[in-house]
A and B are shown apart, each in its own frame.
Chain A
Amino acid sequence: MKIQYLAMGIALFALTGVSHAHGITPKPGAAVAVQRADEVPLSIGVQTRLDLRFTGRPDSVLSIEYRPEDGLVLHSPATVQLRSDLRGAATDAPTVEAVTDGVHYLNVFVTEGARSRAISIRVTAGKAARDARKLDGQGQTEALPSPGTSGVTSQGEPLIILPAAE
């Protein structure tokens, strides 16, 4: 591939995406991560194993606590202990059941050593699974419920107005 550079300081990306030259800087935390191996939607009322991949330090103990949010029921133990392999990888497959249509989250608290990290695993069920496809840029997502009322400043900036005590 031969590419002519026309301007100094212009970045060239072979693929679009977040450049590691300009990465986001997350808050400190346990050196762990959790990902769902797939994003297969759940059927409502059907118990399903979620394949989760953990990464941490090699050969370390990961203490896991699962806490489902509304709409999701956990059928396997809420706490487990895993040991990562020499590459820092571990897996688990908690069993969950979606009881309502929608986008739900399984909160996973992973403790390695003294530190822990909270990670929310998104699970879609029913009609929401179809809507979730819109998240890939094919449409607008539905607005989340707002905790306040709308307003506008004199400069035309939108406001979300919450109640105050006097």
Chain B
Amino acid sequence: MTFKDDMPLGLATDRTHSPSGFRWMVCMALALTVLLAGCDGSGGSGGTVFGPNVQLSGRVTYDSVPVAASVTPYVAYLDYAETVARPARGVQVAVIDDDGRELALGAADADGRYVLTVPKNTPVRLRAVARLYQAPGEGASWDFTIRDNTSPGYADKAASIYAVQGEAFNTGVAHLSRDLHAASGWTGAGYGNPRSAAPFAILDQIFTGMQKVLAVDQDAVFAPMNTYWSIHNRSANGDKAIGEIGTSHWQPGTDHPGLYILGKEDSDTDEYDTAVVVHEWGHYFEAKFSRSDSVGGSHGGGDLLDMRVSFGEGWGNALAGMVRDDPIYADTQGPQQSKGGVVMDLNTPADPADPPGWFNEASVQHMLYQMYKSPDIGFRSIYEVMIGPQKDTPAYTSLFSFATYLRGVVDGAGQGLTDTLLANIGMVNGAKLDIWGDEQTYPGSLAADGEDFVVPVYRDFTLGAPGERICGTYVLGKDYNKLGRFQFRRVTIDEAGAGDYTLTLDEDPGAPPLEEDELAGLYLTSRGVSKLELEFEGPRAGGYSSTVDVSLAAGVYTMAVIDQREDGTAYCQTVTLTKKP
């Protein structure tokens, strides 16, 4: 029997490349007279079957190398001795003839099992492709593929897809069973053999994430996504085509977007670091299902982050726990993947040595994971907020916006837990909480001289001359994505004010030229949609003062400005937004 491509996952699918309609008619005719015999190889019990085809069935598995980790003592490593074969859930399975043509194509089920119909007496090979695919149509659909960014086609956006393939065999005249296993390639002291399992290990985490979403939204449509992994992928910034991907990350935009996952042995590999894979997939989720206003950048425990970054990273960490139902987030690295890079327990609040708050990703991840575990909130409520109001918030995406909207969709008990969690990290809560954090006070745990740059979280921007001089600070962190570097403004245009405006951005008189790696900019957005971006990157000999025209409809806009110098001095900018006559 030939199945359609869009069967729900959990059923093995089979698309035989032969005249299926004719075969079906023959089958029906035969069924009238030979009740016990199968068609297309669908009947019989080990002996010769009728018809031109036989059934090929079996199971596809891959080596899963577990992460052994604990916070106390602080250890994490890949435990090769505990490697187990896991089903390659949902992957594409194909039967290939001598010429490399696909004779049959289907998908493994949730146990890695497949059933394909193949021609009798044909020399073939069995192939599993690192791809999860459900064609668009009614209901859910998805297309997740693991590719090699160091393959020749990468530059042309046609990087090779990983697959594993077995030895040739003849299909014979009876049903037959054939399993396929992708091994890790570990030979005791290193990867002495091809690392066939790695792409399937990554894909299996994506499968798990997908199931988490489908459990609360059975018709979810997943935008196609590529994951780029290679044994050459290392922690060097440079050319991704030679594996210099920086680190494992989500890359938005249009230039080879997708997940990039480390794979360099003895340096840093992430294919088995399940939490890392799901964390980065969490950024995909934000980008495609929800919204993230994160400006990205380096981040780590205890960093005082831009609120958009801390929410996105805390979300990624928390989602890793939610999807895997495991509060331990671990990242391995080093010789033989034996060192712990990061180990976190999502059930533990942020390190007491680090100021808690909306700017601390550990605070965010702890809060989200506790909400997930609570019967009064759970994943469904979190999901509904993420794909609903959080996606459309007029504010920037932050813990303020998320918590405000969550309080609106949960019952009193859920609201109570939310308020308690917010209070525990010194955040405004209850009726005073809003998406803008207007009532938020400055945490006493932060350096006192940072207060004027952190609260109010947003200031209302005054239209017209003479403009506003806006200053950031470096006292809470030097990088552009740290707390107090970007300054936020709320720009309200009423109905009478809608129209064409002139925006002027003036740097401080006498400010030195922007140097290498320094940047200044102004970003005006409406519910996540860019209206204006002015960005100036050093080295830049001249100043960056600019005047631009922009048309603004009535509504509330968010504006973020930054002058990111690295000389330890705070510089300011003057922004003027004036309606044209």
Give A contacts to B, CB under 8 Å: 1-5, 8-9, 11-15, 17, 19-33, 55, 57, 67, 69, 87-88, 103, 105, 107, 109, 113-122, 135, 140-141, 143-144, 146-148, 150-154, 157-166
A87 closest partner in B (C-beta): B568
17 pairs, CB–CB < 8 Å, chain A vs chain B: A1-B546, A2-B547, A8-B550, A20-B296, A21-B295, A27-B270, A28-B344, A31-B299, A31-B300, A116-B341, A120-B267, A143-B150, A158-B161, A161-B164, A162-B162, A162-B165, A166-B180
Give B contacts to A, CB under 8 Å: 17, 74, 94, 96, 100-102, 105, 126-129, 148, 150-153, 155, 158-167, 178-183, 193-196, 230-232, 234-236, 238-239, 241-244, 246-253, 264, 266-268, 270, 276, 279-280, 283, 292, 294-303, 312-313, 316-317, 329, 331, 333-335, 339-344, 361, 478, 480-481, 519, 521, 523, 529-537, 540, 544-551, 562, 568
CA distance A9 to B525 in the complex (A): 8
Q: B195, A141: Cβ atoms under 8 Å?
A: no
Chain B residues with Cβ below 8 Å from A88 are 478
Chain B residues with Cβ below 8 Å from A26 are 246-249, 296-299
Q: A13, B252: Cβ atoms under 8 Å?
A: no
Q: A25, B342: Cβ atoms under 8 Å?
A: no
Specify which of A14, A23, A119 is in contact with B297 (CB 8 Å cutoff). A23
B331 closest partner in A (C-beta): A27
Q: B546, A164: Cβ atoms under 8 Å?
A: no
CA distance A109 to B244 in the complex (A): 16
Q: B535, A15: Cβ atoms under 8 Å?
A: yes
Chain B residues with Cβ below 8 Å from A21 are 295, 521, 523, 530, 533, 535
Closest-CB distance, A42 to chain B (whole angstroms): 16
Specify which of A113, A116, A161 is in contact with B127 (CB 8 Å cutoff). A161
Q: Do A5 and B300 form a contact, CB below 8 Å, given A144-B150, A164-B182?
A: no
Q: Do A24 and B313 form a contact, CB below 8 Å, given A118-B235, A164-B180?
A: no
Chain B residues with Cβ below 8 Å from A121 are 236
Chain A residues with Cβ below 8 Å from B193 are 163
Known: A2-B547, A14-B535, A22-B252. 5 other contacts (CB 8 A): A5-B550, A9-B529, A9-B531, A69-B266, A165-B180
Chain B residues with Cβ below 8 Å from A116 are 333-334, 339-341
Q: Do A160 and B178 form a contact, CB below 8 Å, given A29-B300, A114-B74?
A: no
Q: B361, A28: Cβ atoms under 8 Å?
A: yes
Specify which of B250, B270, B339 is in contact with A25 (CB 8 Å cutoff). B250
Q: B232, A20: Cβ atoms under 8 Å?
A: no
Chain A residues with Cβ below 8 Å from B544 are 14
Chain A residues with Cβ below 8 Å from B251 are 24
Q: Do A164 and B158 form a contact, CB below 8 Å, given A20-B480, A28-B279, A148-B194?
A: no
Closest 3 CB pairs of A and B: A23-B296, A164-B164, A31-B300
Q: B151, A160: Cβ atoms under 8 Å?
A: yes
Specify which of B248, B264, B331, B537 is in contact with A17 (CB 8 Å cutoff). B537
Q: How many A-B residue pairs have CB under 8 A?
A: 285
Q: B246, A13: Cβ atoms under 8 Å?
A: no
Closest-CB distance, B535 to chain A (whole angstroms): 5
CA distance A49 to B529 in the complex (A): 48
Specify which of A107, A144, A154 is in contact with B266 (CB 8 Å cutoff). A107
Chain B residues with Cβ below 8 Å from A113 are 301-302
Q: B195, A163: Cβ atoms under 8 Å?
A: no
Most chain B C-beta atoms within 10 Å of own C-beta, residue among A12, A57, A143: A12
Chain A residues with Cβ below 8 Å from B241 are 141
Q: B295, A23: Cβ atoms under 8 Å?
A: yes
Closest-CB distance, A69 to chain B (whole angstroms): 8
Q: A163, B549: Cβ atoms under 8 Å?
A: no
B282 closest partner in A (C-beta): A25
CA distance A57 to B232 in the complex (A): 30
A107 closest partner in B (C-beta): B267
Chain A residues with Cβ below 8 Å from B74 are 114
Closest-CB distance, A81 to chain B (whole angstroms): 17
A119 closest partner in B (C-beta): B235
CA distance A159 to B100 in the complex (A): 11
Closest-CB distance, A115 to chain B (whole angstroms): 5
Specify which of B243, B252, B562 is in contact with A24 (CB 8 Å cutoff). B252
Chain A residues with Cβ below 8 Å from B341 are 29-30, 115-118
Chain A residues with Cβ below 8 Å from B248 are 26-27
A142 closest partner in B (C-beta): B242
Q: A109, B333: Cβ atoms under 8 Å?
A: yes
Chain B residues with Cβ below 8 Å from A141 are 239, 241-242
A58 closest partner in B (C-beta): B478
Q: B250, A24: Cβ atoms under 8 Å?
A: yes
Q: B163, A162: Cβ atoms under 8 Å?
A: yes
B74 closest partner in A (C-beta): A114
Closest-CB distance, B91 to chain A (whole angstroms): 12
Q: B129, A153: Cβ atoms under 8 Å?
A: yes
CA distance A152 to B266 in the complex (A): 31
Q: Do A14 and B537 form a contact, CB below 8 Å, given A9-B530, A116-B340?
A: yes
Q: A25, B316: Cβ atoms under 8 Å?
A: yes
Closest-CB distance, B539 to chain A (whole angstroms): 10
Q: Do A13 and B478 form a contact, CB below 8 Å, given A21-B523, A118-B235, A164-B164?
A: no
Closest-CB distance, A47 to chain B (whole angstroms): 22
Q: Do A164 and B196 form a contact, CB below 8 Å, given A116-B339, A154-B105?
A: yes
Q: A24, B296: Cβ atoms under 8 Å?
A: yes
Closest-CB distance, A145 to chain B (whole angstroms): 9
B314 closest partner in A (C-beta): A28
Q: A28, B530: Cβ atoms under 8 Å?
A: no
Q: Do A162 and B478 form a contact, CB below 8 Å, given A20-B295, A24-B246?
A: no
CA distance A146 to B519 in the complex (A): 39
A65 closest partner in B (C-beta): B334
Closest-CB distance, B112 to chain A (whole angstroms): 13
Q: B297, A5: Cβ atoms under 8 Å?
A: no
B542 closest partner in A (C-beta): A1
Q: A152, B294: Cβ atoms under 8 Å?
A: no
Q: Do A4 and B519 form a contact, CB below 8 Å, given A122-B238, A154-B17, A162-B163?
A: no
CA distance A164 to B105 in the complex (A): 18
Chain A residues with Cβ below 8 Å from B246 are 24, 26
CA distance A44 to B232 in the complex (A): 23
CA distance A8 to B548 in the complex (A): 12
CA distance A55 to B545 in the complex (A): 30
Q: A147, B195: Cβ atoms under 8 Å?
A: yes
CA distance A113 to B250 in the complex (A): 26
Q: B334, A109: Cβ atoms under 8 Å?
A: yes
Most chain B C-beta atoms within 10 Å of own C-beta, residue among A31, A120, A135: A120
Closest-CB distance, B291 to chain A (whole angstroms): 13
Chain A residues with Cβ below 8 Å from B301 are 28, 31, 113, 115
